[in-house]
Structure 1
Amino acid sequence: MTGLLFVSAPLLLGWTLELIVAWTLISLFMIIFVSDITYMLIPDKVVLVFAGIFLLERLILPLSPWWDSLLGGVIAFFLLFLIAIVSRGGMGGGDIKLFALVGFVVGTKVFLLSFFLATLFGAFVGGIGILFKLTERKKPIPFGPFIAVGTLTAYYFYESILSYYLSFLAGV
């Protein structure tokens, strides 16, 4: 899976410097995917190491405007923190920290889409699991894999999804 994602990144982004950020995101998400599915844990050490790498990358390759990284990280942290409080622990601390890092890396608009998609994918898979009795209601499922899929989808296809959505609204 990692190899396929690494090969697909230049096909989707082109051979730009942003490709370095994409490959770093893929590397982070592959670790998180395996860890969260296996242990229901997003390790703080992994998120912290990648936070340092992404900080360097965004200093060299800033988003436009440059402060969108900071705003994305702050919005992501507080939104997920609020959800964790309201849901009384339905959202884990690792998910909060991971999404704060995602918000920093991809910026505000792409984070909001990635959050929506991760939630949508998670609800769909969880619903299918309940429907086919593969899981039970109220039983926690790892959210990290859905964060990974939702973020990569939003990261690569944000403009296309937004364009389709706006054209859909114009036709209504």
Structure 2
Amino acid sequence: MLMVFFMGLVGVILGSFFNVVGLRIPKNKSIIAPPSHCPGCAHMLSSIDLIPVLSYGLLRGKCRVCGVRISPIYPLVEAVTALLFAFATWHIGWAWELVVTLLFISLLMIITVSDIIYMLIPDKVLLFFLPFLIVGRILSPLTPWWDSVLGAAFGFLILWFIAIISQGGMGGGDIKLFLLIGLVLGTVNTLLTLFFAALIGLVFGGTILMIHKQGRETPIPFGPAIVIAAIVVYFYGIEIMTAYWHLFE
């Protein structure tokens, strides 16, 4: 439990960094300089402003200097990353698969930020994580090992096919993201992820359109739905498939 707590602490710290990466990489900005600052008044944040999750509550979601509203995405990503890191450590234990899991979670958190803010999944982020996930799957292979290769090809091609028949309804970032998802999850779980992502996207997208009374042509980021589905399937894909097949017994 001490290690679970420690990894949760690592997660909340990295979650703060993932916010920076997700916000700056799509705009081709350095993730190192300038230091974190208020987007409203450009005030450089002090240590009291940078405590993950807690600072948002202490400052009541506003800049301490100018009072501009701070996006709730910041503490949300920090908290979710902490919970997922802690849960992964508890669920998997110390094994090479944990390395794959933490890399996968990190990737998904970063693209969640970029897709919500800019409706963009940056190629730079995907390409950065690709070689690490390949090495991770070599050290902790699926059974059979070639399911990673088949899953990556399947994930890319099926999203590419959907993009063609929908005439641009699927973004290029989503297509490339599913290549990495297929690499990590394998063929069957990639298909299951796509199913759940479509279901989640339909429910949340439809709700947003109804609340804001917008037309069906209004673009909605699909990345968060993919992220939720991929995480659920990663941890519980086997249980979901088993329960599904038991319905027909």
Q: Same fold (TM over 0.5)?
A: yes
- Show the counterpart of 1:78: 157
Gaps of 5+ in 1: none
- 1:57 maps to which of 136, 142, 151: 136
Once the two structures are superposed, residues 43-68 of structure 1 have per-residue CA deviations (whole angstroms, 9 ceiling, x without a partner) of: 00100010011011112111111110
Q: Which structure has more helix as a fraction of its residues?
A: 1
Contact between 1:75 and 1:103, CA under 8 Å: does it hold in 2? Answer: yes
- The 4+ residue runs of structure 1 with deviation greater than 2 A are 10-17, 130-136
What corresponds to 2:74 in structure 1? none
CA apart distance, 1:159: 1.5
What SS does the aligned partner of 1:132 have? Answer: helix
What TM-score do the two structures reach when normalised by structure 2?
0.66
- What is the RMSD computed on CA atoms of the aligned residues? 1.3
Q: Following TM superposition, by how much is the alpha carbon of 1:135 offset from its aligned partner in structure 2, in angstroms? A: 4.4
1:1-60 alpha-carbon deviations (Å, 9 max, x no partner): 111111111233343321111111110001000000000110001000100110111121
Partner AA of 1:132 in structure 2: I
Contact 2:96 2:136 in 1 (8 A): no
Is 1:151 aligned to 2:230, yes or no?
Answer: yes
2:181 corresponds in structure 1 to 102
SS across alignment from 2:212: coil
CA distance in 1, matches of 2:232, 2:140: 21
Contact 2:96-2:139 at 8 Å conserved across structures: no
Amino acid at match of 2:202: A
Indicate conservation of the 8 Å contact 2:163/2:171, yes or no. Answer: yes
Going from structure 1 to structure 2, the CA distance change for 1:135 and 1:18 (only over 3 Å counts) comes to: farther
Q: Report the counterpart of residue 108 of structure 2 in structure 1.
A: 29
CA distance in structure 1 between the aligned counterparts of 2:133 and 2:124, rounded to whole angstroms? 14
Q: In terms of Rg, which structure is larger?
A: 2
Deviation for aligned residue 1:129: 1.4
Could you tell me which residue of structure 2 aligns to residue 125 of structure 1?
A: 204
- Which one scores higher on RCO, CA 8 angstroms, separation ≥ 6? 1
1:114 to 176, 193, 199: 193
More displaced 10-residue stretch of structure 1: 7-16 or 150-159: 7-16
1:13 touches 1:156 (CA, 8 Å); kept in 2? no
Counterparts of 1:134 and 1:8, CA distance in 2: 38
Q: Structure 1, residues 78-111: CA drift from partner, whole Å, max 9, x if none?
A: 1000100111100000000000111011111111
Structure 2 alignment gaps of length 5 or more: 1-79
CA contact (8 A) 1:80 1:96 kept: yes
Cα distance in 1 for partners of 2:137, 2:213 equals 41
- The percent of aligned pairs where both chains have the same amino acid is 48
For these two proteins, the number of residue pairs brought into alignment is 170
